Amino acid sequence: MLKILPSYLSILRSCRLITKPNNSVDIIKRYSSYLSSKPIPKDEDLPKYEVTNDPKEWEFVMRLLPDKKIPEVKEKKEYPSGWKPQKFNPNMPYAIQRTKNHMIPIYLCISHNNMRRITVIKKIHGDIWTLASDVRNYLEKLNKKKICVKIHEILGRIEVHGDHVSNLIVWAEKRNF
Amino acid sequence: MSFGKNVIEHATDLLRVLPRLTIANIGPIAKTKKKKLSRRGDARGSTRGLGKKPRTAYFAVGSETKKMPFFIKFPKENYYKDYMFKREYPPVSLVMLQTLIDLDRVDISKPIDLAAICKTGLYSFEPSERHFGVNLTDEGADIFKAKINLEVQWASESAIAAIERNGGVITTAYYDVRSLHILRNPQKFFEKGESIPRRLNPPDDAVLFYTSANTRGYLADPEQISWERLVLAQKYGYKLPKLEDDPDYEMLMQRKDPRQIFYGLEPGWVVNLKDKIILKSIDPTVNEYFKS
């Protein structure tokens, strides 16, 4: 048994202590040194195991692994979420490509401390100038005011001043984009 | 006074075991440090960085003219007490779940859990920021039409009703932080070559939620849950479809063990992705540790 003097208590706190059931104190060796660390046990001492190759169990593993490619959407009778599949119309002078997640690429960009709101239409193919005039006419009828549109011909992208995301998605879905 | 050992022997015994004298252990002797006297201008300037501004032009903070200030009127506001230690559940609405089903990102023919939702890459959460999984919200409860076996971490009453109306089943389950990290990216975990750990039990303040049949807790009595399903159907006014007559009865009845993280994989197993092999221990002491 070891009685601890109060002056040594503060120093002892840096060591690791263990109290035994009979109230005696053991000071543990520190394993920071490679000499004092425990040796690795042999393979015979390790717990034994069996190797299984059951395809039924392996299905549960395959279920957890992510797909390497985003799957294509199968045809269904109805889509309750409101999503609509794209239909290509060759008579139209322009088209909007879907994103890799099968959604229409119309976004809202907020900047300048929530003061500037700009809707962006991306992935435009074909005649971008007629699309811009169509969008402007559609929005000016709805809002009854002048609306500015900025066109990037090379990027295939249009920026409309103001928040018109939900209106433009309705406009795009009517044309089966 | 009688000691078992001499005082000097005690000291020498201690000195043998104590850490050696290094620069890190040495400190100054007590009461030798002189207190530094502050000179004029040392303890902040006259304006304290605020510039020359007439202080009397503004009211004091919290003062309402000729009224009792709010911090005297309401002495305690405990709304945000311990807010940094509370659990958070990032939401998933029923509209988002329906779009995932419509776009074939989630397979309905198998039970859906947190791993299946994270697999899509369209839902993200951070366990290190106290996010404990999915909170199913009732946005789009009217349009929801899918028969699923769903397992989420939190759900509102109307969201539960929307799923059970279509013949589905829902349970709320708790996962500790380590198993949440594993569920977020199971492939990364399998590549480490570690054995699947067992799930821990919920903490004290979450026990009531996960054991009550009202919230479809995973530790609740299944007979009480079937009773509460009937009660909720009468409250919201829909006809409850019979589970026993369903062709997908086996899929809808699949549940995890309270100590289990993945469907079909027990704690203690090691998955080898390269050789497509599962290692299971035969050792009785190891098996008893992982036993639920």
So what's the pLDDT on residue A78? 94
Shortest Cα distance, chain A CAs vs residue B240, angstroms: 21
Q: Is the pLDDT of residue B107 over 50?
A: yes
Low-confidence ranges of chain A (pLDDT < 70): 1-37
| pLDDT tens digits, B199-211 | 999 999 999 999 9
Give per-residue pLDDT as tens, B22-46: 888 888 887 777 777 777 766 665 6
Q: Are B281 and A49 in contact (CB under 8 A)?
A: yes
Residue A137: closest CA among A152, A147, A125: A147
B179 domain residue, yes or no: yes
Interface test with B, best of A81, A86, A104 (most B CBs within 10 A): A81
The whole-number pLDDT of residue A34 equals: 67
Q: Is residue B1 predicted with pLDDT exceeding 70?
A: no
- Say whether pLDDT at B69 is over 80: no
Cα distances (Å, whole numbers) of residue A169 to A44, A137, B122: 67, 15, 21
* Alpha-carbon span B270 to B196, nearest angstrom: 6
Query: Which DSSP letter does residue A45 get?
Result: T
What residues contact residue B43 under an 8 Å CB cut-off, 6+ apart? none
Would the CB atoms of A8 and B276 count as touching at under 8 Å? no
Beta-strand relationship, B270-272 and B277-281? antiparallel
Residues of A in contact with B264 (CB under 8 A): 57, 59-60
The pLDDT value recorded for residue A22 is 67
Q: Answer yes or no: are the C-beta atoms of A121 and A160 closer than 8 Å.
A: yes
Residues of A in contact with B116 (CB under 8 A): 63
B75 domain residue, yes or no: no
Question: Within 10 A of A145 (CB to CB), how many other CB atoms are there?
Answer: 8
Which residues 6+ apart lie within 8 Å of A127 measured at CB? A93, A94
Angle CA(B180)–CA(B186)–CA(B192) in degrees, nearest 5? Answer: 105
Mutate to test the interface with A, among B278, B282, B287 (most CBs of A within 10 A): B278
Identity of residue A64: L
> What is the residue range of B96's domain?
84-264
Number of domains in chain B: 1
Using CA atoms, how far apart are residues A132 and A152, in angstroms rounded to an integer?
10
A chain contacts of residue B14, beta-carbon cutoff 8 Å: 8
Contact A61/B121, CB-based, under 8 Å? no
Diameter of chain A measured on Cα atoms = 97
pLDDT of the residue at B58: 64
Backbone dihedral region of B104: left (phi > 0), alpha (psi from -120 to 50 degrees) or beta? left
Instruction: Convert the pLDDT of each residue in B174-205 to its tens digit.
Output: 999 999 999 999 999 999 999 999 999 999 99
CB contact under 8 A, B119 and A15: no
Going from the C-alpha of A69 to that of each of A72, A123, B101, B111, the distances in angstroms are 9, 21, 17, 22
Q: What domains lie within chain A, and their CATH numbers?
A: 94-174 (3.30.780.10)
**CA-CA distance, B77 to B81, in Å (whole number)?**
8
Coil/strand/helix, residue A169: helix
Q: Which of B17, B102, B262, B274 to mutate to test the interface with A (most CBs of A within 10 A)?
A: B102
Domain containing residue B244: CATH number:
3.100.10.10
Q: Smallest Cα–Cα separation from B275: which of A47, A64, A51?
A: A51
Average pLDDT over residues B257-271: 95
The shortest C-alpha distance from A116 to chain B (Å) reads 27
Residue of B221 and B69 predicted with greater confidence = B221
CA-to-CA separations, B82 to A66, B85, B87, B127, B194, in angstroms, rounded: 37, 6, 10, 18, 35
- Across the interface, do A66 and B102 touch by the CB < 8 Å criterion? no
The pLDDT of residue B162 is above 50: yes
Q: Tell me, yes or no, whether B173 lies in a domain.
A: yes
Q: Tens of pLDDT along B230-254?
A: 999 999 999 999 999 999 999 999 9
pLDDT at B51 over 80: no
Tokens standing for residue A11: 């120093």
| Contact across the interface for B283 and A81, Cβ inside 8 Å | no
pLDDT (tens digit per residue) in A16-68: 555 566 666 666 655 566 666 677 888 888 889 999 999 999 999 999 999 99
Query: Is residue B39 domain-resident?
Result: no
Q: Which residue of A has its CA nearest to B6?
A: A3
The helix or strand, by DSSP H or E, that contains position B123, with its residue range, turns out to be none
Query: Cβ(B234)–Cβ(B91) under 8 Å?
Result: no
Segment among A13-17, A169-173, B48-52, B288-292 with least mean pLDDT:
A13-17
Separation CA A11–CA B57 (nearest Å): 57
- Considering only CA atoms, which of B68, B229, B254, B109 is closest in space to residue B163? B229
